[in-house]
Amino acid sequence: MNQALLDPALSPAAASPDSASAAASAWSAEMDAVIREVTARRDEFDRLTYVPRDAVAVMKKAGIFRASTPRRFGGDALPPAEFLQMVERISGADGSAGWVAAFGSANTYLAPLPLATQAQIYADGPDQVFAGGLYPLQTAQPVDGGWMISGHWHFASGCKGADWIGVGIKNDAAAVAGTPPPPAMMAVMPAAEVEIVDNWNVVGMQGTGSHDTRLKDKFVASDWTCPRGAAGVIDEPLYRYPSLAYQAQVHAAVNIGLARAALDIVTEMSGGAKIMPGAPRLIDRPYYRIKLGMGEAKWRSARLFFYDACHQAWDQVLAGNPVSERLDTMLKLSATHAARTSMEVVNEAYQAAGMAAIHRTHRMQRIVRDAMVVTQHAALSEMNYETAGAIFAKEMPSLAPA
């Protein structure tokens, strides 16, 4: 495990050097158990189209799903960089499992709910799994004490292993001509109260269980709704970190892990058996060495930018400063760049692997498909480049003559 993840000074269990060391060892052992479980069962996840609850339970034991639970409710509320490294490592074993683990950050979406509501969510403990199929926004009808909701939503990743599910709603009655539309809202309820439409059939990330969800005339009290991405009501550092940028980061971390796995696989193939008699080994081919060297350079530089932006934002949060628009944009830019650069690295590793990687049973096949799907996520859209470019241009001094 990356030692930065186990820094005793950052661990919530760190009360003394001895206790910190013991906590770090236990944490490392639990994460190792997650990697073993995921590695052994990744074909099963792909076949089932979701990560089953017993595998989610192993992730819970490792602290994945208390990573964004408030400390006042027994959670860890980890610094984002620590959690992102956990997602990265799991994704190196399987992209779908990493994607599901990434929703250990999604409890930040619950932070704007009233404290009494959050207390009910965490009444059975801090290891609560939240999944959300928030789009398309469905019109909710205001009724006494809450909302009457019907509709159909897409992409509820991890919903079959979730304890709680959120859906996206809007109040068209509150719209006023000539003014900005009301904010997108989220309604939260126990997962058992939501119908899951079993229709996840895709090229990559097949094991994420990103099925549709559906409700029919479901009453949700107002205290179980909140604006999507709003500031948390709990005064802990994590809930001052930009939640929408954080979601872009956790998805990008999946591709960072996949790219690392692809590079490791193609490196291990360097001296392997030849496909044709007399053919040089991969390690003896210039194109292979070039692609391997370029892949390492691309991956390391994109990853460094990714974590550098994360640390900068977290430092501002800890200092009590708001994360500026520029820094928020930098978080999204670095996530988009990391996700897309990682996909390029995966593709180049696939090309360097040669004919051996074309077989359906070769792990590189699934890594290529999974990495491609990650870059399709709206949070990692190319529009993040445009937004960043607009901010950079705005900061330039005027070039007009005096």
* Residue corresponding to tokens 């977290």: 314
Please state, in angstroms and rounded to a whole number, the distance separating the CA atoms of residues 5 and 105.
16
Residue limits of CATH 2.40.110.10 in the chain: 129-227
Structure confidence by residue, pLDDT tens digits, 213-226: 999 999 999 999 99
Q: Tell the CATH superfamily of the 3-110 domain.
A: Acyl-CoA dehydrogenase/oxidase, N-terminal domain (1.10.540.10)
CATH topology of domain 241-395: Butyryl-CoA Dehydrogenase, subunit A; domain 3 (1.20.140)
At how many degrees (to 10) do helices 286-318 and 325-353 cross?
160
SS (H, E, C) 355-378: HHHHCCCCHHHHHHHHHHHHCCCH
The dotted CATH code for 129-227 is 2.40.110.10
- Say what the pLDDT of residue 11 is: 39
- Residue 187 contacts residue 225 (beta carbons within 8 Å): yes
* Residue corresponding to tokens 């980061």: 249
Residue limits of CATH 1.20.140.10 in the chain: 241-395
- Residue 135 contacts residue 153 (beta carbons within 8 Å): yes
Closest CA to 257 of 99, 77, 402, 143: 99
Residue 401 has pLDDT above 90, yes or no: no
Residue limits of CATH 1.10.540.10 in the chain: 3-110
Structure confidence by residue, pLDDT tens digits, 119-166: 999 999 999 999 998 899 999 999 999 999 999 999 999 999 999 999
Where residue 279 falls among pLDDT bands split at 50, 70, 90? confident
Flag the least confident range among 117-131, 172-186, 239-253: 172-186
Q: What is the pTM of this model?
A: 0.90
More confident residue, 132 or 16: 132
**Pairing of β 164-170 and β 130-139:** parallel
Q: Could you tell me the two tokens for 108?
A: 């930040």
More confident residue, 164 or 176: 164
